[in-house]
Amino acid sequence: MVIGGSGSGKSEFAETICMELPAEEKCYIATMQAFDEESRARIAKHRKARSGKGFETIEQGTHLEAVCLPGGCTALLECMSNLVANEVFAPEGRGADCSEVLKCGLHHLAGTAAHLVIVTNDIFSDGVTYDPETEQYRKILGEVNLEAAAMADYVYEVVCGIPICVKGEKRDFTDKNNR
Which residues define the annotated binding site?
4-11, 47-50, 59, 78
Helix axes 132-151, 99-112, angle to 10 degrees: 30
**How far apart are alpha carbons 57 and 31 in whole angstroms?**
10
Do 46 and 30 contact (CB within 8 A), yes or no? yes
Nearest residue to 146 via CA among 108, 99, 97: 99
C-alpha–C-alpha distance, residues 93 and 97, integer Å: 10
CA dist., res. 146 & res. 136, Å (int)? 15
Catalytic choice (46, 63, 107, 115): 46
The binding site for GTP consists of: 4-11, 47-50, 59, 78
Q: Is 63 a catalytic residue?
A: no
Q: Which sequence positions are flagged as catalytic?
A: 46
